[in-house]
Chain A
Amino acid sequence: MAAITTTAGRRAIPWGWIFGLGIPALVLARIYYLVNVVEVRDYAFFIGAMVQSLQLGSLYALIALGYTMVYGIIRLINFAHGEVFMVGAFISYFLFSGAPFALPWALLWSAVLAWGVAFILNLWRGSMTHPTVIAGGLVAFAALTFLLSTFQVNWVAALLLSMLFTGVLGVVIDRVAYRPLRGAPRISLLITAIAVSFLLQNTGLIVFTRNQTPFRPETDWTAFLQFDVLGGTVYTSRLMFLIPILTAVLVTALTLFVTRTRLGKAMRASAQDAETAQMMGINVNRVIATTFLLGSMLAAAGGFLWGLNFGSLNQPAVMGILPGIKAFAAAVIGGIGSLPGAVIGGLLLGFLENFMTALFPRQGDFPGLTEFKDTFAFALLIVVLLVRPSGIVGEDLSEKV
């Protein structure tokens, strides 16, 4: 009687197999051609490109997670996420560079950070006025004031504190700019997000710097590394271990949080249907705030690692926008709203971008594709949105009539 049948119907074209095997095959053929036929590259060069792709892809994945989580819950393309990433990078820069802070500055920083600690405890305890939350906030305030005014912050502390600070920033942005627009048309929300992005860019120009900034914390992780493989030498740095491993740790922690904790379950419920989730007693506003907190923290980690990877930070007005849009493209490629999708999409974009330039180098009159690198990300975004807006693992949401 049930109308549900499992007939296969028409045989679908196996695009997954065609792309999954066809593209790597084409890439390998092209590498063989470049190495053995025209002899402009050696195999080690492509191993190096693989390593670079993995690093870049991890960074995109970290940023893309923020996009995908926010989109999953409030259906907002958080245009300002790239700027949050930029702020994260600059905050960590200001934390690790320079001497211990003067007392007023230490107090200011600690106040913001302690509020962040209290907010996180509040997510756990359920109220800002819970004794644990207040005590935790005060302890954090005292400890951080002492820490910041006495010691030079090392890179690990800078990373963690920057994540905390940026997380707070994400929550504040949601509270001030997005929350008044709950229930408004999505386009209004997107316009607000663009405005926030513009605001952060220009505030960054005033508060941080107007110039390209070198980003060199005292760490051994940036040391150069070279090894011989396949008759050539790969030049890289120890970051080839740090960035993917740190990304994996953060992504695992996020996954555990989302799947194992009550708040994470509430988050997934809200992503399914926020209205019903609220009727089931979930405080959706708190869930959204948590989403912004986590997404911004990951973006800050991404920002710090971005600085390490490239050795410098671009000026604030342009630093966030391009990685942001690319990470959004990654999130869409993977399937927006899906956490594994964001990671897959980020890694894929990292590979595509690197190999596009590596596979088509300057050859005679052909100028190479390097100058189209940024254009490529936009073009890829457009093509993916047009051809398969649900991405690799996402589901299609088309309108009901």
Chain B
Amino acid sequence: MSMLSVRNLNKSFGGLQATTNLSFDVEPGEIVSVIGPNGAGKTTLFNLITGVYTPDSGSIELEGRSLVGMRPNQVVDAGIARTFQNLRLFTNLSVLDNVLIPQHHQLKVPWWQAVLRTPSYRKAEAHMHDVAMEKLAFFGPRLMSFRLHQPVYVLSYANRRRTEMARAMATGAKMLLLDEPSAGMNPKETAEITQIIRRMRDEGGYTILLVEHKMNLVGEISDRVVVLDYGQKIAEGSYKDVVNDEKVLEAYLGKRADDDASEEVEL
């Protein structure tokens, strides 16, 4: 059974059709990239999967379980966590707190035990701390030790991105949706994040669906690539096949002028 299966997904905002009959699958342990020009509906797709929007029609299933109609937090319970394109960290809280909050939904101890600091709560808290350190360790020493207790607003942009990825992992999800994980990073940092995404799959066992604009990142790590344009899937396959696809080139670069010489290209 595939990990995530999206079938005939439709969503429109007013008159704007954001996704049209979109279908694709993600197998367990895969890294799948969703690419497409700006406004192609990539982020909308993420919002649909994570329950921010409700689809007009179609189905989204995680291991055979429908996600349609769930609140975002229920989707996290089901096993999908995400990062945001324009960082949504808990800015005034520390790095550690940022990675502890996503574990709250798994806490079985009621709040009044937390007030009394009962042994079971202490144990749960220690466990949450361990998980947080484990997830932060994915990024080497960057977010550890003294940065752990720094508020997020003093971090660099790249470190914020890393914190957000660690935060998504800490939810305990099986599948991660990464929305432009390398946005705003320099080539060095991009190369590093590429390795980390791969390690997240290999060592962490996560299935990863990512939206990305940097093609070298996509080409390096993707098992499969899904190309969207105007809300429709125009190609799917390995990176090499997809980038040579006529339709994809057209979507990114426009129609070739020699296809129809009589038509002037309007600017």
Direct A–B contact present (CB less than 8 angstroms): yes
B contacts with A, residue count (CB < 8 A): 13
Q: Which residue of A lies closest to B41 (CB)?
A: A3
Instruction: Determine the distance from Cα of A5 to Cα of B10 in the docked complex, in whole angstroms.
Output: 13
- Mark contacts of A7-47 with chain B using CB atoms, 8 A cut-off: 1 yes-contact digit, 0 otherwise: 10110000000000000000000000000000000000000
Instruction: Determine the distance from Cα of A335 to Cα of B52 in the docked complex, in whole angstroms.
Output: 25
- B230 touches which one: A1, A9, A401 (CB < 8 A)? A1
B16 within 8 A of A: yes
Instruction: Determine the distance from Cα of A297 to Cα of B16 in the docked complex, in whole angstroms.
Output: 42
- A9 touches which one: B12, B20, B47, B52 (CB < 8 A)? B12
Q: Which residue of A lies closest to B179 (CB)?
A: A401
- Residues in chain A near residue B84, CB distance under 8 A: 401
B15 within 8 A of A: yes
- Mark contacts of A233-276 with chain B using CB atoms, 8 A cut-off: 1 yes-contact digit, 0 otherwise: 00000000000000000000000000000000000000000000
A3 contacts B47, C-beta separation under 8 Å: no
A contacts with B, residue count (CB < 8 A): 9
Instruction: Determine the distance from Cα of A10 to Cα of B11 in the docked complex, in whole angstroms.
Output: 12
Q: With both chains docked as a complex, state the minimum distance between the C-beta of B215 and any C-beta of chain A, in angstroms.
A: 24
Instruction: Determine the distance from Cα of A401 to Cα of B47 in the docked complex, in whole angstroms.
Output: 8
B195 within 8 A of A: no
Instruction: Determine the distance from Cα of A9 to Cα of B18 in the docked complex, in whole angstroms.
Output: 14
Instruction: Determine the distance from Cα of A5 to Cα of B14 in the docked complex, in whole angstroms.
Output: 9
B15 contacts A4, C-beta separation under 8 Å: yes
- Mark contacts of B12-56 with chain A using CB atoms, 8 A cut-off: 1 yes-contact digit, 0 otherwise: 100111101000000000000000000000010001000010001
With contact pairs A9-B56, A401-B52, A401-B84 given, residues A4 and B43 touching in the complex (Cβ less than 8 Å) = no
- Residues in chain B near residue A401, CB distance under 8 A: 43, 47, 52, 84
Restricting to A177-216, which residues have a CB under 8 Å from any CB of B?
none
Given pairs A4-B15, A401-B52, 20 additional interface contacts (CB within 8 A): A1-B230, A3-B16, A3-B17, A3-B18, A3-B20, A3-B230, A3-B231, A4-B16, A4-B17, A5-B12, A5-B15, A5-B17, A6-B15, A7-B15, A9-B12, A9-B56, A10-B56, A401-B43, A401-B47, A401-B84
Binding site for A on B (CB under 8 A): 12, 15-18, 20, 43, 47, 52, 56, 84, 230-231
Binding site for B on A (CB under 8 A): 1, 3-7, 9-10, 401
